[in-house]
Structure 1
């Protein structure tokens, strides 16, 4: 079988896309831990010298600790970055240490039971792999220097992970007494071995982007395969038209046929153009009922025209980062295509492209003050006829 030059080019593109997709396959590095239970066991250091916030590292006079495990915690951490944790600790104020600005005359036990809510800063900073910083607030009860007191707590710390389950936890907690007349404030530092279980993993941001690209490449390969068939069909059609042109009596009929086809195409172009565009809400890729009504009209046109192929081009306004807007426009394009396909249109007849904030329809670029109505003109999906 003779294969035309355009078909050969399409085949070469298909092989290139396949090779690229193999290089992009998902790996373990593309997944992250999203939620888990955690237990930790370690030691704690208490600074209740009375000037603990002024001299943070007064090890010799202000820091108290015991030479064995003295802190245990259990917590639950969720996909949204929040964590709930209960902590029990024991310590001992040593004779001769500074406690509440005086020299401690004898060893005194320290007991603490605290509860806190923490937030994973990686949700803001972006996934940093083994380094997991967090902040938190909470409350608890502490018996220190023979004085019981409720405390308001604030914590800052980080965990460093060696595997999906094992790591180290470092943190410092400021404890402010609820009854400031009879009890002082103090700082408690902690270091422990952390173990997490019932670990639930998901794709990192990079993994999600890679998955979206793989899905796009898969659709592109399907389109390429369809193009191979179309290229061969076009070659056969051209040969038939050439034979028809050789006959004078068929020339006029062929001309009339072409004019009628062009009129049909112009009418079809007007139908597509008159549909308008799909407009999205801010930071959303979901279709409204009004959007679905517009797409239902598009589906009806494609069902009436079985050879019609459409490309969806999705865009965002300029607010947000370029990387986020590119991802958001890809989601908008995908949701638009998915809805049309769900109504029975072949996936090979509708493709999509995403341009983020690179093709604004007005002057509302970064740094330009615009109204919400002006910004909304840029949050759109448009339709382009690829083939009749």
Structure 2
């Protein structure tokens, strides 16, 4: 017995340590990455078409052409394998005094470009970096620059930096080579920066997240093995507790059965009283009358006997009219009828504390004889009544 207790304590200690490690090793938002999405972007672009791109790569003042408002829009679909397809439209303006094709121009010249490109996410190679998302790509497009249209082959390098799963910034540079060699048609480079937004996102686990998931599965398997061992040790104890639970359940079942029997008895008593009262029938009145007639007094005499036999019985008397006459008149008439009904019961010895009253006027007709329906007198008479509802018994 002492060996079993020691073994149980050891298993519990190991299980507690594994549980603690598993609590610390959880899949979090940091372990998930965006695997595919749509991305739209709006931003600025700068064109260097000076003819000596690499000599004056950062000569912004003389060689870069930029307009002072958002001039680039893009939309793209990006897939789990790292590839992305993107369509881009840009507008710019070559400014008077800038160097274009190795010469200074003396007028403003508009620039338009429509490009499509295929990109590859370099994180597929270097591993997920979270906020930093570099890419390279190739593509083709059409550009109207320096008043000359031309098809272009494009190569792009860039990166996105993400502030959240939705929002980020995009920075890239694209080299554009004319598809045909023509006089005055040269190659140029286009830089871009802007805000990007992701939607239609599909997320999955990063490599680190997958490793954590595998480790968690291994821990869970070991925990289950140890739990099974602990359960085996506890089996004998559970068997001893089972008899106690069964005895307790037996007592609870007996109490529930007694409670049900008591409730059934009350329901049977209520139904029996209700049937007796319903068999007596209603107290009926003549048209425009609140007088309790002889036949109705017989009903009330019998009702008084029931009230006398059952000291705990309390009733609510409800009185009604037919639909003829105004609603205000019928409310008054039903109030008179309920008072006269109660008054007769009191006169034959029924205690007042056993009776409640309520007058409904024409609001609770027993048939279709409302204000808009013609009915013979026999049907109207059905509605001129006092009823009796059990409150306590």
TM-score (norm 1): 0.58
Alignment of 1:1-388 (within 5 A): 3-182=4-183, 183-228=185-230
Q: Distance in 2 between matches of 1:94 and 1:19?
A: 66
Aligned-pair CA distance for 1:227: 3.0
SS in 1 for 2:128: coil
Quick check: 1:90–1:110 contact (8 Å CA) kept in 2? yes
Q: Distance in 1 between matches of 2:100 and 2:48?
A: 8
Name the residue aligned to 1:259: none
Aligned-pair CA distance for 1:54: 2.5
**1:186-210 CA distances to partner (integer Å, 9 max, x unpaired)?**
0000011101111111111111111
Q: Distance in 2 between matches of 1:229 and 1:138?
A: 64
Q: Distance in 2 between matches of 1:228 and 1:197?
A: 49
Name the residue aligned to 1:253: none
Q: Distance in 2 between matches of 1:81 and 1:229?
A: 48
Q: Distance in 1 between matches of 2:94 and 2:227?
A: 76
Instruction: Supply the RMSD in Å over aligned alpha carbons.
Output: 1.8
SS in 2 for 1:174: strand
Aligned-pair CA distance for 1:29: 1.2
Q: Distance in 2 between matches of 1:61 and 1:157?
A: 24
Aligned-pair CA distance for 1:180: 2.1
Quick check: 1:155–1:171 contact (8 Å CA) kept in 2? yes
Q: Distance in 1 between matches of 2:46 and 2:231?
A: 73
Q: Distance in 2 between matches of 1:176 and 1:54?
A: 17
Name the residue aligned to 2:346: none
Name the residue aligned to 2:275: none
Aligned-pair CA distance for 1:13: 0.7
Mean Cα deviation higher: 32-41 or 5-14: 5-14
SS in 2 for 1:212: helix
Aligned-pair CA distance for 1:229: 5.2
Aligned-pair CA distance for 1:232: 8.2
Aligned-pair CA distance for 1:6: 2.9
Name the residue aligned to 2:295: none
Structure 1 regions of 5+ residues with no counterpart? 234-388
Q: Distance in 2 between matches of 1:143 and 1:46?
A: 12
Q: Distance in 1 between matches of 2:68 and 2:230?
A: 75
Quick check: 1:139–1:153 contact (8 Å CA) kept in 2? yes
Q: Distance in 2 between matches of 1:225 and 1:133?
A: 47
Q: Distance in 2 between matches of 1:172 and 1:9?
A: 63
Mean Cα deviation higher: 110-119 or 53-62: 53-62
Q: Distance in 1 between matches of 2:65 and 2:162?
A: 27
Mean Cα deviation higher: 176-185 or 102-111: 176-185
Q: Distance in 1 between matches of 2:83 and 2:170?
A: 16
Q: Distance in 1 between matches of 2:231 and 2:189?
A: 73
Q: Distance in 1 between matches of 2:109 and 2:95?
A: 7
Which is greater in Rg? 2
Quick check: 1:113–1:141 contact (8 Å CA) kept in 2? yes
